[in-house]
Structure 1
């Protein structure tokens, strides 16, 4: 093992405390997060909508009505309206800029009352977006996951306060308050303002070009705010030119991409480094296109073509969810057979391309994850594995209630082997994670219970490595009968994780060559036709096999500290009973074993920064530049019976 000085150990601990690269926490407490909807009723909403279907206000009323009809019965939703109480003359501006009315407070949704209130609204006045945001935020709880969904057809006409400045104020109220904005037939200036509000609060921006698109986008954004994928990362803007690409250090970043756009990002690599660069695009439910493509390509110093790229596609993007592509690059590692211009230390550029042609002009958030692995200078650890973990026997015991997270960042910890269950709703994508030390592997399967009135849709599950490399997935149709994924009866599995797996010929073995958090993703597609009330019970059976062993011995200079993989401790879904065993019969320990740790012998070391790492991390103590989404531990729901009846798989 590598010996570290006290200074390096302190640096590793500090890095662990402030890193967000692999720092998810459990999903928010409770079933659904409270949401405040803010609706523009200013004078500009009296303009005729495209196609002669009435005014913009008529379109907004239909969209709100449709959104309300689709809300779960237990949803906590409120509604505020601005611009409906005055005219738009100069003499009325002072009053108009205070004209924000809370139509319904945040409480268990009363669908009929909400629709009556909206139906009675008339558009007439000013556009006090900044004041409306403050009013809406005041209606929400002071802590916990909560969201504002704002619909506007134009810029604020009342500043001050400037909406972007108000958004910055709101961001200081807690990382769990997000504003999602919808621009209804807006111009470039209004779009920029609304996008600024979203970006400063960790929310998302969406365009609605006509009544039909507003009807779709309002519903899906509100549903997503109730329980959704929360994009996370330090804001970054990639360039259209590789020469001017911003230089990234290891961590997680957040950018946005148009339907057809490429962005460039630079990374400095030293001799022996391996870079892992992942991009995760986040799509809203009701995405305009079914087919989304996300591509990553790497070029070397001085623009050398490294002839390596990775591409993934999502053929059900209209259901919402995410799409992840990961490219690993080890050109500077001794013995690699990369092109001449790509085998030397220097500045490498990663190009990320989103390709989604046809329909809509929506930008989507894209998470960028960069991890750099230093060279191994000592032992490489255990020999490569030649087989996948299997279920020696199905997990026994009662199903433990969990609440899946909405993203990689918020994946709920499954504390070792066992059976975990909850209800998944139509259109949801749930994330769980299992920690594997060196020498450990996992196998799992997912069962979607049958329900007589179940809608026809797709189901899917996928397993991702700590570097967001999808190891395997399975998908099939769900029509209401019990379905198990994978549908071939064999579990989705990894080998026992060892460093030398990266040299295996089998990709399923090769992808488990790092230790850390492995992610189980479960998705129930959007129903075709009417969505039945309630969801589908789902059970995830997990086996963990193997004992913890010594990992590879990494090298690195003082400014290339191979510190422990940075992951603050989340809340586990439920303690694992003491004495529970692995698939192979050995003890896996208690709940603490399933939590992130700074133990240097168990977590893959990553370079955290370049020459200024000590100074940068010290600054981070007082000024945290990253966006870290932390949530309360989930309250395990009661689980009605055993839902092991059947589920379908889908992508």
Structure 2
């Protein structure tokens, strides 16, 4: 059994030094009428209608009880979930494949969120034994972005069979957790079910890879224009190189990069200065997250933004099949060959910090290192199932 709330990964490169900000206190004359006082106060800019991920796939309606849970098969699904509700989905799993289910909620960027708003995912046997669980949350108050993670039922041929490795009926539960002061609107849900073939009987998946090693210099070539997608399915393709895009407050942009066995990723996101803004400091105003092949959270980093140049970086261990069984939370997400996803976010409440043009330029510098290694020895077509390069 494996239960975790992840926030794995190693820290990025040195951040840009943030300059001091002078805050001028405006004093209203005594007796100024309320109407004039309101007019004299600086207007708070409205959060723009940012481009938002629209989940795609087969529409499914999660049930309020396990007995009524609708069946899921490998593929993409959409649903929606209100605060305080828990819904269930049913899976019929064999005793050889490893199965991975990701669930993401997509709040409106203009919605109000509080500390700890998010989801609780559990994958359990029909008898109630929890095989895996995750609790993805938005973070600080106002940190609105797609929030999700993956849970797995993983077969390890070198370990004794247990309740979570037997063929039978399993249940995926998704609970929406939210503070009373947060927006009560339903979140659209993006659900992805991936079934990974088991290994051949004499498979030799190799050792774990738990060391990042030396960090290389990021690519300094001229950046290519490449705007990220709004979700996983529209993620823009990137490889070793530099790429330029932009964000407006409330937007998250996705990029995908292929990592084969033995390869590791070094990525840096540079959020440009935004002259003409208020200079207001927004904690965790900019963010960089990395998700693995099954869309599980791998690295999650965020930094304060006040309109000055700021950089965030992620460094990973080499991809190795047995990393999924590692005790290190920094290595465990990197047990799959295939697509990995980088997501860059600009919080909605940076709207006043961002200058008059309303956007912040982002440069993404990506480097894939390492020679490709042999796979673990799958018994089926792993590439067709979404695993591999």
Separation in structure 1 between the aligned mates of residue 248 and residue 306 of structure 2, nearest angstrom: 14
Pair 1:295-2:120 in alignment: yes
Tell me how large the CA RMSD over aligned residues is. Answer: 2.5
Q: Residue 363 of structure 1 aligns with which residue? A: 186
How many Å separate the matches in 2 of 1:324 and 1:410? 17
Give, in angstroms, the shift of residue 527 of structure 1: 3.4
- For 1:468 and 1:336, locate their aligned partners in 2 and report how far apart those are by CA, in whole Å: 27
Give the counterpart of 2:375 among 546, 551, 561: 551
The alpha-carbon deviation at position 563 of structure 1 amounts to: 4.8
1:123-142 correspondence to structure 2 within 5 Å: none
Change (3 A) 1:308 1:405: closer
Conserved in 1, the CA contact under 8 Å of 2:210 and 2:318? no
Q: Deviations over 1:537-569 (max 9, x none)?
A: 2111111111222212122xxxxx5352457xx
Higher strand share: 2
Match of 1:441 in 2: 264
Q: Deviations over 1:229-287 (max 9, x none)?
A: 12112111110111221111111110100111111011111112211111100010121
* Aligned residues of 1:430 and 1:523 also touching (Cα < 8 A): yes
Which of 206, 229, 232 matches 1:408? 232
Structure number with larger C-alpha Rg: 1
User: In the TM superposition, what whole-angstrom CA distance separates every residue of 1:109-163 from its partner, at most 9, and x where no partner exists?
Assistant: xxxxxxxxxxxxxxxxxxxxxxxxxxxxxxxxxxxxxxxxxxxxxxxxxxxxxxx
Q: State the distance in 2 between where 1:336 and 1:443 align.
A: 36
Q: Distance in 1 between matches of 2:378 and 2:351?
A: 55
TM-score, structure 2 length as denominator? 0.80
Which 4+ residue blocks in structure 1 deviate beyond 6 angstroms?
Answer: none
What aligned pairs does 1:256-335 form with structure 2 within 5 A after superposition? 256-291=80-115, 292-301=117-126, 303-306=127-130, 308-316=132-140, 318-330=142-154, 335=159
Corresponding residue number in structure 2 for 1:351: 173
Q: Does 1:385 align with 2:209?
A: yes
- Distance across 2 between alignment mates of 1:483 and 1:529: 17
Contact 2:131-2:153 at 8 Å conserved across structures: no
Identify if the C-alpha distance between structure 1 residues 389 and 514 changes in structure 2 by more than 3 Å, giving closer, same or farther.
farther
Structure 2 unaligned spans of 5+? 1-42
Matches within 5 A, 1:466-545: 466-486=293-313, 492-528=314-350, 530=352, 532-534=355-357, 535-545=359-369
SS in 1 for 2:319: coil
Whether 1:422 aligns to 2:245 is yes
Secondary structure at 2:262 match in 1: coil
Q: Indicate the residue corresponding to 1:126 in structure 2.
A: none
Contact (CA 8 Å) 2:82, 2:186: kept in 1 or not? Answer: yes
- Using structure 1 for the length normalisation, give the TM-score: 0.49
Seen in structure 2, the aligned counterparts of structure 1 residues 332 and 449 have a Cα distance that, compared at 3 Å, is closer
Aligned length in residues: 338
Higher relative contact order (CA 8 A, sep 6+): 2
CA contact (8 A) 1:497 1:514 kept: yes
Q: Distance in 2 between matches of 1:275 and 1:444?
A: 28
1:436-477 deviation digits (Å, cap 9, x = unpaired): 122221111111122332453311111110111111121111
